[in-house]
Structures are given as C-alpha cells and as structure tokens.
Structure 1
Amino acid sequence: MGVVDVFDAVAGTYDEARRRLVPCFDSFYGTAVQVAAPPLRAALAAGRTPEVLDLGAGTGLLSLLLAATVPGVRLTLVDAAPAMLARAADQLRARSVPHRTVRADLVDPLPPGRYDAVVSALAIHHLDDDGKRALYRRAAGALVPGGVFVNAEQVAGPNPALDRRYDEVWTARITELGSPPEEIAAARERMRHDRPSSVADQCRWLTEVGLADVDCFFKEWRFAVFGGHAR
C-alpha cells in the first residue's frame, strides 16, 4: 500500500489514537497553535480575514485547534488522502468554520494565494530531504509579510544512537498510555513511509529559504515544533 492508501484506511480512527501515539499531545499541538496565532490575530485586528494553509492536513486536527483558538480564520487544507480530507471537512462544517479542501500531494504546487500562516503537523516527514527543502521554499513564498510557517513534526535524532533512543522512549511511552499491540503495529507499518530529518537540518533549511526568527519552539524526543516568520 502507498502512503495515501495507508492513511485513508485509518481515517475514521486516526484522531482517537493521537493522544496515545503522540505522548506529548497537548504541548506539541498547543505550541504549534501558540506560534501560529499572533499573525492571525494581527490580521483580525487589521480588519482582514486571516488565511491559513494547512499542508498534509489529514483529518484537520491542527486546523480545528487553530479555528477554536482564533475564531474567524479561513482555512485551506491540502492532503493527498481523500478519506482524510472528507473527515476534516465534516468536522469543520459541523463547527461552521470557513474552509476549502484541496486534494494534492506535498510535492505539487501550493494552492494560489497568500497566507498569514502556513502550518503542518506530522506530514512533511514523508518527503525526502530535497522534497522538504523545496516545500519549505514554496511555503515561505506563500506567506504575507510577517506571516508564519509552523511545522509540528516527527524528527530524526542527530545521530543513529539517539534516533534509536527516540524510538525506545516512544515505544515505552505509548505502551504506558494504553496503545494495544495492534495499534502499535499499525503505526509502525505507517512509519515505513517516514523519512524524518533532524531539527538542526530543517531549521537551517528554513533560514536558507529566507525565513527570519527561525527556532525550535518545542521538542520532546522525536516530536518537535519549529518554524519562522516571513521578513
């Protein structure tokens, strides 16, 4: 199965497992929202509708959190998995959040427009390093001046020994949180498609594409939130 089929197959249960499979769920997603929110609030204060582009949006989890934190945003969700996008659209419609969905791969051109925030959660690690760098360049170019790019991501360790330790800690934590063996096995099957990169490399790539104030705002083992602002 390809990566799209793998994620479409779990669209109905994906959100339910997040708090087990992302042990630092609240801090991880909460930090992403905290970093993304200021330019959105600034747009509202200026009388504009804040525009958000969510890359690899999946079931819309990050978009829903942003819409709840900054009411009045308009969302564009991009994902290649139709069942995941349909789940996201259902949840956003139920909350009357203005949005559009775009079925596209992360290597495709971004939807036209300029955005106050370009965000992503647990998606870009499916690209190889060249693909990540190219996407970061497109994302930076899609931001309004002062807009923010935020990636809440699964990352690689800076060396193989630490990467193995990341996996040991993750396995222990999700087991403690009640992930049954079949859920862990399914997660590992999806992880066969992963190509994570280190935080240091990705922050450097964001600087190279012209973003300012690039930083890692949160990190707990393999989960990190990093990004920067358009100048």
Structure 2
Amino acid sequence: MSVADAFDAVAGSYDEARRRLVPCFDAFYGTAVQVAAPPLAAAQASGRTPQVLDLGAGTGLLSLLLAAAIPGVRLTLVDAAPGMLAVATGHLAARGVPHRTVLADLTDPLPTGRYDAVVSALAIHHLDDAGKRALYRRVAQALVPGGVFVNAEQVAGPTPALDRRYDEVWTARITELGSDADEIAAARERMRHDRPATVTDQCHWLADAGLVDVDCFFKEWRFAVFGGRRERG
C-alpha cells in the first residue's frame, strides 16, 4: 500500500484522532501559524492577496487554521491522496475560503506561482533524505522575497536511544489521551512509511537551500516546528 492509499483509507476519520495522536496539538499547530502569519499579514497590508502553498495538505487542517488567523488568504493545497483533498475541499468550501487543490506527490514539481508562505504538517517525513533536500530547494525558489517556509513535522531523535525514548513518551501520552489498541496499531501501520530526519539535519538542509533565519521554533519530543525565510534581496 502506498502512502497515498494509506491516508485515503482513513480520510473520513483522520481529523477526529488528531488531538490524541498529536499530544501537543495546540502548541504544535499554533506555532506553525505564528511563524507563517507575518509575511501573510504584510502581503495583505500592501494590498496583495496572501498566497499560501500547503504541501501534503491532507484534510486541510493547517490551511484552515491559517485562513482563520489571516482571513483573505488564498490557499493552494497539494496532496497525493484524493480522498484527503476531498475532505479538505469540503471544509474550506463550507467556510468560504478561496483555494485550489492539486493532486500531486511531494516529489513532483511544485504548482506554478510564488508564495508568501509555504507550509507543511506531518507530511515531508514520508520522503527519504535526498527527497527532503530536493523539496527544500524547490520550496526556497517558490517563495517571494521575504516569504517563509514552516514545517510542522515528526522528527527523528538525534541518537537511537533518544529515538526510542521519543516513541515511549508518544505511546504513553496517546494512551493517556484515549487512543485504544486499534487506533495505535493503525497509526503504527501508517508509520511504516515514515522516514523522519533530525531537526538539526533539516535545519542545515534549509540553510543549504538558501533560506535564512532558519530555526526550530517548537519541539516536544518527536514533534517539531522549524523553518526559515527567503531573503528580501
């Protein structure tokens, strides 16, 4: 089963489990919105419609949060799972949020256009390291000067011992939050597709791609929010 198939299979119930499977949900997604918001607000203040590209957008959860924080943004959502994009379209259309969806893999060329923010949540870790680095280079070129990239991501521990500890803590926390054995088993089955990298490595790759002010803005065990911006020139 491909990554797209694995997520299409749970499209209808995906959002309902997010607050259990991402124990730091509010801080995790909230930080991503805070990082992305300033260039979007600046574009709006200058009279432009802020443009957002959401990579591996899934059901549109991060896009919805950005649209609520900065009303008037225009969203482009990319995902390889048509069922997930269908759910996202329903959510965004119900709220009257301007958007387009693009059925594509993260290894494909990015949709044409220049973006004030490129964002992603819990998607890029499905690429191998070479794929991540290539995507980060394409992202840097897709940003307007001053635009920002933010990745809310599942990351690897810097050592095998810490990586095991990340998993122990995650399992304990989601169990406390009500995940049952079936939900945990299903999550682990999807995680067979995961190829997470460390925060340190990925921040280096973002800098190598040409982004500046690269930083990790939030981290709680395996969940991290990091990114950078394109220089204004």
Q: Shorter-normalised TM-score: what interval?
A: over 0.9
State the SS of the aligned residue for 1:91. helix
* Counterpart position of 1:204: 204
Deviations 1:91-146 (A, max 9, x none): 00000000000000000000000000000000000000000000000001000000
Aligned-residue sequence identity (percent) comes to: 83
In 2, Cα distance between equivalents of 1:107 and 1:60: 19
| Letter paired with 1:187 | A
In 2, Cα distance between equivalents of 1:172 and 1:143: 39
Is it true that 1:124 corresponds to 2:124 in the alignment? yes
In 1, Cα distance between equivalents of 2:71 and 2:190: 33
Unaligned runs of 5+ residues in structure 1 are none
* Counterpart position of 1:115: 115
| Letter paired with 2:110 | L
Mapping 1:140-219, distance limit 5 Å: 140-219=140-219
Is it true that 1:92 corresponds to 2:92 in the alignment? yes
The Cα shift of 1:2 comes to 1.3
Query: Scaled by the length of structure 2, what TM-score is found?
Result: 0.99
Deviations 1:60-106 (A, max 9, x none): 00000000000000000000000000000010000000000000000
* Counterpart position of 1:103: 103
Aligned-residue CA RMSD in angstroms?
0.3
Moved over 6 A (4+): none
The Cα shift of 1:169 comes to 0.2
Mapping 1:34-73, distance limit 5 Å: 34-73=34-73
State the SS of the aligned residue for 1:117. strand
* Counterpart position of 2:220: 220
Unaligned runs of 5+ residues in structure 2 are none
In 2, Cα distance between equivalents of 1:3 and 1:222: 20
| Letter paired with 1:161 | A
In 1, Cα distance between equivalents of 2:5 and 2:209: 32
| Letter paired with 1:33 | V
The Cα shift of 1:183 comes to 0.3
In 1, Cα distance between equivalents of 2:215 and 2:4: 30
State the SS of the aligned residue for 2:217. strand
| Letter paired with 1:228 | G
Number of residue-to-residue matches in the alignment: 231
In 2, Cα distance between equivalents of 1:6 and 1:207: 32
The Cα shift of 1:179 comes to 0.3
